[in-house]
């Protein structure tokens, strides 16, 4: 998988093509109509969860859904007050685990991606191929061997163990993406840094990392989301004590065997989605640029 | 050796953390997983370090593979599940790609409110998958779900989406398309922006119709981007387990290979790790064969990959 370097200029180059061409009124309406319909489809499920989160459980399953039906913030107060389980503790655990995954995952992906982008070394090809291979195996069925290894390392039931497992899912994609991104940073910069007496690590840390912000933003987003919403590993590897659960695991208390507390579940879901959406909002302006020069060149 | 290390040590030092993590947490479990496929391991006979119980499972050779590949119902009806997995994968990736490309092309124009549209359209990507799954499950509910309300109000038939019929597969495909379009859209938007504008101007000068410009400028310009995202998309979709598992549960009508592996793994009287691992290895083999063919096809077209 070689990456051809379409340089950072790419994004500016479009400027001249984006001038408003003489588009007819009809075409303009059709364009906006399509985009509006698509946006509504994209946003509606989230909006509907929000609407549901304001209703009492019994009103959430009425045969004729209304926008507002005895709506109030009650579900939120009850979820946050910990009536159904230690929501605040779950939240804290999720934040810690997701942030650790992001920091560790992005850092080791960045070093590996930089090495793969700049240096030719024996085993590089094999390394990149093995990343692709890693994506192909259904991870879920590795839970037993992974569990054994975490016990052997003394990490079972700890956040760090879970973080490392998440890193293995996030790192291959992040490495590819960052390698692609580093390829677009001219290597003259590295050479100039070396001439000025920086070590290869110094070049990487002081020169390249600051230049790779869009790529880092996208990979951070990806790593964060990988850890934030994961259920299977979290329920298998964390101890069953209520205060050590993550959000994704904890929320299962709202889904009992026979009935689902839709109102509460919806309120909790909105609370879980907010941090993800905040992270997304912070990085979204980098997304196109970062993905363009990174991942998509694989 | 000395010279070798002198030349490469910093490269290896930078790669080392990833290699260690991958080797310890992927390759070793993978090897162990492959070994499990030749045994009859399950929850009852696995070594249990907490209870201090030694392992008592036996090596059974290729029996698991024979059982699975014979396609019996009690082993998940491998071949029909494979066909369903292929239908699922290709319809999802096809719709991801076409819808993603369409939206990316619309967003690549000068449109008022472009930034806002973009934020809204990427939103499904930002919402954790288990929450989207819950949202859709709620909307798909046959009785009080908003989708059937809508269908009934305009006089269309309202199917039981998540029941024991092929609608279950249709439902999970709809959800997965909703989830996956943003990634494709963003990736292809990046690809579109890297096509030099002069090419379009030159084509316009030569009197190319919009379709010809799309066919001969846009598509070739997106080639390398597309080949990667389509490959990744196929691999990810083939192994996409949370969407189906959280929405349809163990519904055989929406079962794909990976969800069945998971079902074997987590449910049933005795968790059958051996069959689950066998499915894992078979999934890996299918994907490897596919990736090899895919690469060869690309190389034939002169793509260096």
Please give the structure tokens belonging to residue A47.
């909006």
- What does each of the 305 residues of chain B score in pLDDT, given as a tens digit? 667 767 778 888 888 888 888 888 888 888 888 888 898 888 777 777 667 777 777 888 888 898 888 887 778 788 999 999 999 999 999 999 999 999 999 988 888 888 889 889 988 988 888 888 888 988 888 777 888 888 888 888 888 888 888 899 999 999 999 999 998 998 888 888 888 888 888 888 888 888 888 888 888 888 878 888 898 899 989 988 888 888 887 888 888 988 888 888 776 656 788 888 888 889 989 998 998 898 888 777 654 44
Are B236 and A141 within 8 A, CB to CB?
no
| Cβ-based neighbours of B285, under 8 Å, separated by 6 or more | none
Average pLDDT of chain A is 80
CA distance A89 to chain B (A): 19
For A137, the closest of B28, B30, B224 (CB atoms) is: B30
Nearest CA in chain A to B37: A141
Residue A292 is predicted with a pLDDT of: 61
Task: Please name which of B132, B159, B170, B169 lies closest in space to residue B259, comparing C-alpha atoms.
Answer: B169
Whether residue B205 lies within 8 A of chain A, CB to CB, comes out as no
Are B193 and A262 within 8 A, CB to CB?
no
CB atoms within 10 A of CB A167: 28
Sign of CA dihedral A159, A165, A167, A170: negative
Are A42 and B120 within 8 A, CB to CB?
yes
d(CA A135, CA B163): 31
Are A295 and B228 within 8 A, CB to CB?
yes
Residue A257 is predicted with a pLDDT of: 53
Residue B304 is predicted with a pLDDT of: 45
Mean pLDDT by 10 residues, chain A (298 residues): 36 43 78 93 91 83 73 82 80 92 93 87 82 77 80 83 88 86 84 85 87 86 87 78 80 68 85 86 76 53
- pTM, entire model: 0.85
Are A284 and B119 within 8 A, CB to CB?
yes
Whether residue B162 lies within 8 A of chain A, CB to CB, comes out as no
Residue A62: strand, helix, or coil: coil
Domains of chain B, CATH where assigned: 37-300 (1.10.3720.10)
What ipTM describes this predicted complex? 0.83
Are A149 and B242 within 8 A, CB to CB?
no
Residue A294 is predicted with a pLDDT of: 55
Are A31 and B106 within 8 A, CB to CB?
yes
Are B18 and A171 within 8 A, CB to CB?
yes
Render B260-297 in DSSP notation, one character per residue.
HHHHHHHSSSS--HHHHHHHHHHHHHHHHHHHHHHHHH
* Residues of chain A neighbouring B46 (CB-CB closer than 8 A): 144
* Residues of chain A neighbouring B279 (CB-CB closer than 8 A): 138, 141
Cβ burial of A163 (10 Å; 0-12, 13-18, 19+) is: buried
d(CA B304, CA B232): 17
CA distance A276 to chain B (A): 6
């Amino acid at each position: 998988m070689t990456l051809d370097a379409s340089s950072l200029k790419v994004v500016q180059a479009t400027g001249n093509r984006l001038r408003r061409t003489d588009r007819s009124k009809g075409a303009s309406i059709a364009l906006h109509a399509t985009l509006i319909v698509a946006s509504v489809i994209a946003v509606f499920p989230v909006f509907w969860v929000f609407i549901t989160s304001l209703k009492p459980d019994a009103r959430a399953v009425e045969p004729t859904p209304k926008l507002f039906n005895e709506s109030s913030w009650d579900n939120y107060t009850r979820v946050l007050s910990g009536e159904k389980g230690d929501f605040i503790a779950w939240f804290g655990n999720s934040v810690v685990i997701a942030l650790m995954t992001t920091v560790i995952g992005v850092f080791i992906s960045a070093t590996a991606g930089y090495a793969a982008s700049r240096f030719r070394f024996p085993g590089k090809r094999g390394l990149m191929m093995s990343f692709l291979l890693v994506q192909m195996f259904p991870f879920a069925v590795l839970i037993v061997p992974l569990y054994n290894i975490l016990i052997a390392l003394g990490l079972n039931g700890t956040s760090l163990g879970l973080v490392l497992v998440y890193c293995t899912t996030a790192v291959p994609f992040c490495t590819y993406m960052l390698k692609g991104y580093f390829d677009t940073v001219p290597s003259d910069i590295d050479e100039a840094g070396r001439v000025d007496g920086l070590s290869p690590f110094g070049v990487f840390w002081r020169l390249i990392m600051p230049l790779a912000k869009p790529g880092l933003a996208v990979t951070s987003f990806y790593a964060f989301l990988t850890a934030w919403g994961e259920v299977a590993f979290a329920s298998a590897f964390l101890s069953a004590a209520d205060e050590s659960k993550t959000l994704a695991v904890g929320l299962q208390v709202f889904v009992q065997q026979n009935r689902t507390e839709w109102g509460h579940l919806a309120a909790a879901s909105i609370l879980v989605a907010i941090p993800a959406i905040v992270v997304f909002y912070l990085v979204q302006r980098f997304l196109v640029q970062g993905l363009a020069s990174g991942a998509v060149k694989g | 050796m000395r010279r070798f290390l002198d030349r490469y040590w910093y490269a290896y030092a930078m790669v080392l953390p990833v290699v260690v993590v991958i080797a310890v947490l992927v390759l070793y479990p993978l090897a162990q997983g492959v070994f499990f496929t030749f045994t009859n391991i399950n929850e009852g006979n696995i070594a249990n370090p907490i209870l201090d119980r030694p392992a008592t499972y036996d090596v059974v050779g290729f029996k698991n593979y024979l059982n699975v590949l014979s396609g019996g119902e009690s082993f998940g009806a491998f071949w029909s599940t494979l066909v369903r997995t292929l239908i699922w994968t290709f319809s999802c990736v096809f719709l991801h790609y076409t819808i993603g490309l369409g939206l990316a092309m619309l967003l690549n124009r000068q449109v008022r409110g472009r930034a806002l549209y973009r934020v809204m359209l990427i939103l499904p990507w930002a919402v954790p998958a288990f929450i989207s799954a819950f949202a859709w499950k709620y909307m798909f509910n046959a009785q009080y779900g908003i989708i059937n309300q809508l269908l009934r109000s305009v006089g269309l038939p309202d199917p039981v989406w998540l029941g024991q019929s092929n609608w279950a597969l249709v439902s999970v495909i709809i959800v997965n398309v909703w989830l996956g379009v943003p990634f494709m859209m963003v990736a292809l938007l990046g690809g579109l922006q890297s096509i030099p504008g002069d090419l379009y101007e030159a084509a316009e000068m030569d009197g190319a119709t919009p379709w010809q410009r799309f066919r001969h400028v846009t598509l070739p310009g997106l080639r390398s981007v597309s080949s990667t995202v389509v490959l990744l998309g196929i691999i990810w979709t083939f192994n996409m387990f949370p969407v189906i598992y959280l929405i349809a549960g163990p519904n055989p009508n929406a079962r794909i290979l990976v969800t069945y592996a998971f079902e074997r793994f987590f449910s049933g009287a005795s968790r059958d790790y051996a069959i689950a691992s066998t499915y894992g290895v078979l999934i890996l083999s299918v994907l490897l064969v596919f990736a090899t063919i895919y690469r060869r096809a690309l190389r034939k077209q002169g793509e260096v990959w």
